[in-house]
Amino acid sequence: MHGQMTLREKWLYAAGNFGTSLLPTVFVGWTIYFYAPPPDEGMQAYVSLAAVGIITFLGRLVDAVADPIVGHWSDTSRSPRGRRIPFVLYGTPGLVLTFVLLWFPPVQGVSTANAVYLGVMMGAFWFFYTVVVAPYLSLLPEISTVLAERVSVSTYMAVFEVLSLIVGSLVVGPIVEFFSGGVTLGPVHFGDGFKIMGVLMGVIGGASFLMTGLTIRETPHHAGKDVTFPFAEAMSSTFRNPGFPPYLVTVSMFRVAIDVVVVSIPFLVKTVMREGEAWAGVGQGLVVIVATMMFPAVTKLSEVWGKRKLMILGGAGFALVLPIMFTIGKWPMFSPLTQGMILFALAGIPTATLLVLPRPMLADVIDMDAARTGFRREAMYNGME
């Protein structure tokens, strides 16, 4: 398998990227809407909107703390099964469980118990997400040493990422709306569409990680894999890499912008456009479809202008589109629904830059680190980025 992956092996590794994108897409796009829906929607609220905002910040804080710890843990692991696969296999059940439980708050109505529950589930979700995803993304150099082969596998990963975004955008909304009155499956009753959706998406996302974890094998452990940095030195060395801080700031800002778009769509569709959850899925799907159509252009332009310049232009695109979203319903032409769909489509253009460019940019940064330190520390970088 090592050095020359078969087509089957490429697809099996890339399949894990489906869960990498699907679970956070659903999580970010629907959690706030589920726990703190708009007051005029007639939906059950579980936590105040202000509390959800604070809890979301704390959940991301857990994620930020876990990232370097898990990355260093994976880089320094000496498991006979490898430095990456055990994390994928043993972390996936916890990731799926916390994602599913998120949609089952313990108390009906707004309560402190629900706020505490949301905080625990959100923190646990991001922790297990890091445990699984950082080693998964760091696995590619372990199973392929050929540059052209890595690019080929990255292309398959992008395919699964787009598929997951389409599912997360176009399937989730209709499921929530179709089962809004609840459904009973055997002895189990699901009180609303969010719960059945959470179970389905959690199982599908977990299955994609297990496809990779159960079929891909790493090279056996050897002395060349040893990373002798203690944790504190590994952290400081990472930030001393001159290419990493600018990369981290740029990608983080892009992700915040995309999160704003994804989170805003259900609220804009319901409260401004006065349409159902299914249209929220259409709006999110439109962002993904336009982004996918822009992949060839982004790839070509990155060769002409360079990755850094194109990322800056993508950021400028978000800075232009996001403020205009707050004017939906106030244009002198088109219906609010049409106005929103136009802006969602435009948001897909800068989104394409984030879907295409970060992986090759981070690879450049990691190569710089290896040249400086003599160690390959993919998990530390993938965990912290």
Q: Answer whether 55's CB lies under 8 Å from 368's CB.
A: no
List own/partner pairs for 363-366 with CB under 8 A and 24 or more apart: 363/150, 364/243, 365/241, 365/243, 365/244, 365/247
* pLDDT tens-digit series, residues 298-322: 877 887 887 888 888 888 888 898 8
Point out the least confidently predicted range of 137-141, 187-191, 294-298: 187-191
225 pLDDT band (50/70/90 cuts)?
A: low
* pLDDT tens-digit series, residues 227-253: 767 777 877 888 888 888 888 888 888
**Does residue 249 form part of some domain?**
yes
132 pLDDT band (50/70/90 cuts)?
A: very high
**Does residue 285 form part of some domain?**
yes
Report whether pLDDT(367) > 60.
yes
pTM of this prediction? 0.76
- Compute the half-sphere exposure of residue 104: CA atoms within 13 Å on the CB side of its CA: 13
* pLDDT tens-digit series, residues 155-209: 788 889 888 978 887 788 888 888 877 777 777 777 888 999 999 999 999 999 9
**Does residue 334 form part of some domain?**
yes
Percent of the chain with pLDDT over 90: 24
**Does residue 374 form part of some domain?**
yes
Instruction: Report the distance separating Cα 36 and Cα 294, nearest Å.
Output: 34
* Mean pLDDT value of segment 142-163: 76
Pinpoint the alpha helices (H) of the chain: 7-35, 49-75, 85-101, 112-138, 140-143, 147-166, 172-178, 193-215, 231-240, 244-267, 277-293, 295-305, 307-324, 336-356, 358-373, 378-384
**Does residue 237 form part of some domain?**
yes
224 pLDDT band (50/70/90 cuts)?
A: low
- Residue whose C-alpha is closest to residue 227's, from 108, 100, 41, 381: 381
Instruction: Report the distance separating Cα 165 and Cα 76, nearest Å.
Output: 33
* pLDDT tens-digit series, residues 319-338: 898 888 888 888 888 888 88
Q: Could you tell me how far CA 159 lies from the centroid of its own chain?
A: 14
- Residue whose C-alpha is closest to residue 129's, from 196, 59, 182, 181: 59
- Residue whose C-alpha is closest to residue 91's, from 26, 80, 99, 195: 99
**Does residue 335 form part of some domain?**
yes
Rg (CA), the chain: 21
**Where in the sequence is the domain holding 212, given as residue range(s)?**
7-384
Instruction: Report the distance separating Cα 36 and Cα 31, nearest Å.
Output: 8
Q: What is the DSSP string of 314-351?
A: HHHHHHHHHHHGGGTT-SSSS-HHHHHHHHHHHHHHHH
The CATH number covering residue 50 comes to 1.20.1250.20
* pLDDT tens-digit series, residues 28-76: 888 988 998 888 777 888 898 888 888 888 888 888 888 888 888 888 8
**Does residue 45 form part of some domain?**
yes
- Residue whose C-alpha is closest to residue 123's, from 55, 62, 69, 65: 62
Instruction: Report the distance separating Cα 243 and Cα 238, nearest Å.
Output: 9
Q: What's the pLDDT at 1?
A: 45
**Does residue 360 form part of some domain?**
yes
* Mean pLDDT value of segment 288-298: 84
**Structural domains counted in the chain:** 1
